[in-house]
Amino acid sequence: MLWLSLIPCTTEASPEQAALQQRLLSWWALQFSPRVAVLEESVVIEASASLRLFGGEAALRKRMLAEASSLGFRALSWAPTSLGALALSRHGGGDGMSQAWSEVLNDLPLDTLSAVATHRDTLARLGCRSLGDVRRLPRSGMARRFGADLLDALDQAYGLRPETHAWVTLPEVFDERLELPGRVESSQAVLLAAGHLLARLQGWLSARHAGVRAIVLRWRHDMPSRAAGDGGEVEVRTAEPVRAVQHLGRLLGEHLAKIQLKAPVGELSLHASEVERLPDQAGSLWADAQPDGEAFTQTLERLTIRLGPERVVRPQLRADHRPGHMQTWVSATEPPSRAARGTPTHPAATHQLPLPAWLLDEPLPLSQRDERPLYHGPLTLLAGPHRIESGWWDTRLSGRQARDYFVARSSMAGLLWVFRERLPGDEAPTTQAANWYLHGLYG
C-alpha cells in the first residue's frame, strides 16, 4: 500500500482556519483517490489503486506537489501505513518507500507518533530517544504501564495491525458560507474575501471531476436596515462548464465593479447552481498549451458582462425548414441548443437544393412574362421544385409559408434562388402559382 500524508500550513492560524484548510486539502485529494481520511492534523491518501491512472508513483507525487502548493501544506510524505506517513510528515516529510520501512520508522523521534508523544517524558527517562527504542522495550511491561493504545499505534505504524479510517465524502451540493473577520464596505474587499470561497469551490470541483456553469455569491449586511435590506446577491454564468476559479474570479470582479454596497457586509456565501461533469483533458506535449477556444470563450464572457448580453451575440441553428428561420441570434454565452450541436436531422442538412450563400432580408417580388420570372432578363429554371409548407404554428402572417423553390440562372446576375407562392394545402402544379420572388444569391 502507498499512503501519502499532507499537513496543512497552520502557522498562526486559529483552530477554525486550520480545520477549514484541512477540509480543503481533503476535498482536493479526492480527485486522486476515493480513500482519503483526516488523521489528526493531517490528510492521508491511500493511492496504490490510482498509480496506473496517473502514470505511476513518481508522476503522481510530482503532480500532487505542484497542485497542493497553491493550497498550502507544510510537509508531504509517503509510506506503507497512514500513521507512519503522518509520523514522517511531522519529521519534515520524505520518502518512506525507498528502504526498509522499519528502519525508517525506527530512526524517528518520539514526538512524531501521538500515542508515544503522550508518554515522552517517562519514555525519555527510560532511555528512549526514538521509536525504535520504544519498540525494543518489553511489550508486557509496556502494556501494564502505558496501556494498549501505545502498542496498537506502534503496530499500526509498522504495518503489523490493520488501520481503520472514516473516509472523507463530498457534499452533494456546494453551498459554503464565510463569516468575515471584520466589516467590509467596498465591492473590491468583497471580491477579495470571495476568493476563499472560490478556493473551496476549486477543491470541490476537482474532487467531483466537474465544471460549473453558474455560481451565485450572496452577502449579508452586518447591520441590516429598512433602506439597505438584509443583503444582496450576484450571479455569474459561463458559456462552457469551467473548473478554473481564476476565471470565475475575474467574471465575479466584473459584476461586483458595477455594484454599490448599501451597507457594510459581514457574511458571504457561495452556491454552485449549475454543475456538470467535466472529463479530464489529456496532457499536452507543450506545457503552456491551452484547451482549444478557452481564451476566446472567456473573452466573450467578459465582453458580455461589460456590454450586455444583447450586444454580444452569435448565430445558432434552429430546427425549422423555413428559409430565414433556420438561424437565429442568441447571447454568446448561452449554451448551444441540440440543433446547434450538429444533429444529423436538422433541416439545413436534408435540404433537396443547395442553399445560397446570401439570403435577402425580405424576398424581392419579380416581374413575369408568359408565367416566366424576370430578373435582368428572363430566368432559366435549372433545378426544383423544392416544396416548403411550414410555419402553421406561427401567428404572424409572414410566418406561414407555402412555397416551391427553384435554382434559376440569369444571364446577367448568375445563379439565383427563387420561389413561387402557393396556397397552403394546394396540390396544384406550380405553374398555377401567382407570384415569383427572389430570395437568395449563390455568388
Query: Is 165 a domain residue?
Result: no
Rounded CA separation 233/262 (Å):
12
Last residue of a domain, one of 127, 157, 187: 157
Query: Are 17 and 125 contained in the same domain?
Result: yes
Helix, strand, coil % over all residues of the chain, rounded to 5: 30, 30, 35
Query: Are 19 and 136 contained in the same domain?
Result: yes
CB burial readout 177-191, b (16+ within 10 A) else e: ebebeeebeebebbb
Query: Are 34 and 120 contained in the same domain?
Result: yes
Rounded CA separation 317/137 (Å):
79
Query: Are 254 and 219 contained in the same domain?
Result: yes
Is the torsion defined by CA of 312, 355, 375, 427 positive or negative?
A: negative
Query: Are 194 and 229 contained in the same domain?
Result: yes
Query: Is 432 a domain residue?
Result: yes
Q: What is the pTM of this model?
A: 0.53
Query: Are 41 and 92 contained in the same domain?
Result: yes
Structural domain for 412, as ranges: 354-441
Asked if residue 99 lies in contact with residue 110, where contact means CB atoms within 8 angstroms, the answer is: no
Rounded CA separation 303/101 (Å):
57
Query: Are 72 and 212 contained in the same domain?
Result: no
Nearest Cα to 231, choosing from 199, 176, 196, 184? 184
Please report the pLDDT score of residue 10 as a whole number: 60
Please report the pLDDT score of residue 391 as a whole number: 60
Please report the pLDDT score of residue 292 as a whole number: 46
Query: Are 79 and 198 contained in the same domain?
Result: no
Asked if residue 441 lies in contact with residue 357, where contact means CB atoms within 8 angstroms, the answer is: yes
**Beta carbons within 8 Å of 416's beta carbon, 6+ residues apart:** 356, 375, 379, 407, 408, 409, 410, 438, 440, 441, 442
Query: Is 289 a domain residue?
Result: no
Query: Are 145 and 256 contained in the same domain?
Result: no
Nearest Cα to 94, choosing from 75, 111, 109? 75
Is the torsion defined by CA of 206, 212, 217, 218 positive or negative?
A: negative
Query: Are 141 and 66 contained in the same domain?
Result: yes
Please report the pLDDT score of residue 309 as a whole number: 80
Asked if residue 358 lies in contact with residue 340, where contact means CB atoms within 8 angstroms, the answer is: no
Kindly list the distances between the CA atom of residue 376 and the CA atoms of 365, 366, 415, in Å, as whole numbers in the listed order: 13, 10, 12
Query: Is 290 a domain residue?
Result: no
Give residue 438's Cα distance to chain centre: 48
Query: Is 396 a domain residue?
Result: yes
303: left (phi over 0), alpha (psi -120 to 50) or beta: alpha
Query: Are 205 and 151 contained in the same domain?
Result: no
Last residue of a domain, one of 157, 190, 209: 157
Please report the pLDDT score of residue 339 as a whole number: 45
Number of structural domains, the chain? Answer: 4
Please report the pLDDT score of residue 285 as a whole number: 35
Q: Which residues of the chain have pLDDT under 50?
A: 282-292, 339-345, 429-433
Q: What CATH number should be reported for the domain holding residue 258?
A: 3.30.1490.100
Rounded CA separation 37/200 (Å):
17
Query: Is 286 a domain residue?
Result: no
- The cell for 258 is 458595477
Rounded CA separation 380/410 (Å):
7
Asked if residue 71 lies in contact with residue 21, where contact means CB atoms within 8 angstroms, the answer is: yes
Query: Is 170 a domain residue?
Result: no
Please report the pLDDT score of residue 424 as a whole number: 55
Please report the pLDDT score of residue 108 as a whole number: 92
Give me the DSSP letters along 308-362.
-TTTSEEEEE-S--STTSSEEEEETTSPP-TGGGT-TT-GGGS-SSPPPSEEEEE
Nearest Cα to 75, choosing from 58, 96, 61, 91? 91
Query: Is 135 a domain residue?
Result: yes
Query: Are 189 and 268 contained in the same domain?
Result: yes
- The cell for 155 is 503496530
